[in-house]
Every structure is written in structure tokens, then in C-alpha cells.
């Protein structure tokens, strides 16, 4: 069992760290707000006073933070991960950032004599808790093979997709579908509801039809009742949609449904709903359609 470090213990990162603990690994954790990690400390996680301390302590160190700026904050500076990485240690970033930023960070890690993989996840809080999370990995193949058993303790499906940056590219390609699919679902639902079909009935029929994807099945209940803690809020989803648009321009791939769906996230923010799960776009569309909630 390796000694692991985990930095970024939010809704997803904290649950990933718990799975690593449950698999028998020693985990040293750090989170900007320590109180949010208390449940993990109670479960046996050790505490590192800074990202540097975690990196100095661990053989393999993970991060899962909100965006590129947050990743720079935990990686750089005298108390950052880069200052604490040991030679030949492995750093695995599970955040969703731009591929270019991920590749640049990988070069900084290599300069320290360590190795970096990007390994974002596909799934949600519920799929993680059910042990059904899937991971994609970019970086050196031999390093991937070395840590693959650790990654499989997080989720059973672990796919190597290529060099550094390719996994976060794949993650953006997947995540843009979450918003686009949900928008189409909400439009169809509102059409049925405004035509006189009760919303509960329309939901049941649609979720038992050919259009029902796994992501729709676990998020559409939020149309009736939003979760107390957003699984993936409007700001986070819009960050990924903007990454998709940026990559579309870079790679000359037209993404028209991404552009339109992204505008609905902007509308949600304008309505003061930025911290709600992105399923709140149903409320935005219902307001436009003059449908009572």
C-alpha cells in the first residue's frame, strides 16, 4: 500500500480520498478549509499543514480543485506542491483545466525529477459512492501502469488516453455533453408540461424512453428538488463549457450547441443562481416559457 497525499477535499475530492482510505492506503490530506475535512480525519486520514508538506510526505500525491487558478495556488510558491515533490514521486491531477495548462504543469513536475499524470473523472457524487466512477489518464504509459492499481481503487474503469493533457481534453469533450443533453431534456419536458402533462408524469415517461442517459437519470430529480449541496454548480459547468469553446477555436471544431447552452448558464448567473447545481437551467427555461414551478 502506497502512502498517498490528497489536496482538495471538496464534494468529489473528499469522497475520492475516502475510497483510498477504505482501500487500505495511508492518506495525508490538505484542504484550504480544514473543517470541511474533519469527517475524513475522523475516518483515519492524516493532516498535512500545507500542499508542500503533503507532497514531501507522499509517494503519490493527488489534487482535485475547482479551476486553473486554484491549481496554481496549491502548486506554486514556497508552500506549494512543486516545492515539496520528491524525485521519482508521482503527481496526479484530477482537476478539469485546460490541456495547455496541464502540459505546462507536467513540464514543471518533470523539472523536479518527478512524474505527472492528468486523471480527471467522469461521474458524480452518486456514481463515486456507488463505486462506478470512471477515470481517464494522460501521461507516461509506464507511470500509468505503475499507479493503475491505486486508480482502480477509486473507480473500476480506468482508461489510458495518451500523453499529458489528453485526459483533460477527453474530460472536456465528455462534460460539454452534460449541459447540452440536459438542455435538450428540459426543452422537451417544458413542451410537455406547458401542453398540460403533469411534470412528474412527463419526467417518468421521458426517463423510461430511449433518450434517458445515465447522466440524465441521476440529475433530472433535481428539477423537482434541488440538492442541499450542488453536485456541480453553474459556475463549474460554465468553466468547462468555456474550456470547450476555447478548444473548439484552437482545433477548428464548430460547437454550436455548446455556445447556445453556455448562454443559458450566463442567464442562470444573472438570476443569482450561480451556486446552484447546473440543473437549475430548468428554472431559467421555465421562466422564459412562463411555466409555474
Identical topology for domains 3-163 and 169-289: no
Q: pLDDT by residue (tens digit) across 137-196?
A: 999 999 999 999 999 999 999 999 999 999 999 999 999 999 999 999 999 999 999 999
CATH number of 3-163: 3.40.50.720
Q: For 169-289, which CATH class?
A: mainly alpha
* C-alpha span between 13 and 6 (Å, rounded): 8
- Ordered by start, the domain boundaries in the chain are 3-163, 169-289
DSSP state of 233: B
Long-range contacts of 15-23 (CB under 8 A, 24+ apart): 15/125, 15/128, 15/129, 16/62, 16/64, 16/94, 16/121, 16/128, 16/154, 17/45, 17/62, 18/43, 19/128, 19/131, 19/153, 19/154, 20/150, 20/153, 20/154, 21/45, 23/153
pLDDT of residue 123: 84
Residues of the chain above pLDDT 70, percent: 100
Average pLDDT over residues 10-21: 94
pLDDT for residue 188: 96
CA distance 177 to 171: 10
**Choice between 291 and 251, residue whose per-residue pLDDT is larger:** 251
Helix, strand or coil, per DSSP, at residue 156: coil
Average pLDDT of span 58-63? 97
Whether 293 shows a pLDDT value over 80: the answer reads no
What integer pLDDT is reported at residue 229 of this predicted model? 85
Mean pLDDT confidence for 49-76: 95
Mean pLDDT over each residue of the chain, to the nearest integer: 94
pLDDT (average), residues 250-255: 96
Q: What Å distances lie between residue 244 and 62, 165, 225, 252, 288, CA to CA?
A: 24, 14, 29, 12, 26
**Residue 129 confidence (pLDDT):** 84
Amino acid at each position: 500500500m502506497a502512502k498517498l497525499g490528497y489536496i482538495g477535499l471538496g464534494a468529489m475530492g473528499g469522497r475520492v480520498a475516502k475510497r483510498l482510505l477504505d482501500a487500505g492506503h495511508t492518506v495525508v490530506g490538505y484542504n484550504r478549509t480544514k473543517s470541511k475535512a474533519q469527517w475524513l480525519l475522523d475516518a483515519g486520514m492524516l493532516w498535512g499543514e500545507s500542499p508542500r508538506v503533503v507532497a514531501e510526505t507522499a509517494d503519490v500525491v493527488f489534487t482535485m480543485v475547482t479551476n486553473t487558478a486554484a491549481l496554481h495556488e496549491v502548486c506554486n510558491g514556497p508552500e506549494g506542491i512543486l516545492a515539496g515533490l520528491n524525485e521519482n514521486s508521482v503527481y496526479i491531477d484530477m482537476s478539469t483545466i485546460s490541456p495547455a495548462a496541464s502540459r505546462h504543469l507536467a513540464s514543471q513536475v518533470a523539472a523536479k525529477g518527478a512524474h505527472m499524470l492528468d486523471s480527471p473523472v467522469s461521474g458524480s457524487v452518486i456514481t463515486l459512492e456507488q463505486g462506478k466512477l470512471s477515470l481517464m489518464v494522460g501521461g507516461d504509459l509506464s507511470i500509468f501502469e505503475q499507479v493503475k492499481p491505486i486508480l482502480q481503487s477509486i473507480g473500476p474503469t480506468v482508461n489510458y488516453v495518451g500523453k499529458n493533457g489528453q485526459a483533460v481534453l477527453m474530460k472536456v469533450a465528455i462534460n460539454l455533453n452534460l449541459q447540452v443533453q440536459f438542455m435538450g431534456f428540459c426543452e422537451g419536458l417544458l413542451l410537455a408540461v406547458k401542453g398540460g402533462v403533469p411534470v412528474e408524469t412527463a419526467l417518468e415517461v421521458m426517463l423510461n424512453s430511449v433518450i434517458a442517459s445515465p447522466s440524465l437519470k441521476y440529475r433530472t430529480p433535481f428539477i423537482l428538488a434541488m440538492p442541499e449541496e450542488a453536485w456541480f454548480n453553474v459556475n463549474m459547468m460554465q468553466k468547462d463549457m468555456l474550456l470547450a469553446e476555447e478548444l473548439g477555436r484552437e482545433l477548428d471544431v464548430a460547437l454550436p450547441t455548446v455556445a447556445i447552452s453556455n448562454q443559458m448558464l450566463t442567464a442562470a448567473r444573472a438570476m443569482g443562481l450561480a451556486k446552484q447545481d447546473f440543473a437549475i437551467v430548468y428554472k431559467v427555461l421555465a421562466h422564459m416559457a412562463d411555466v409555474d414551478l
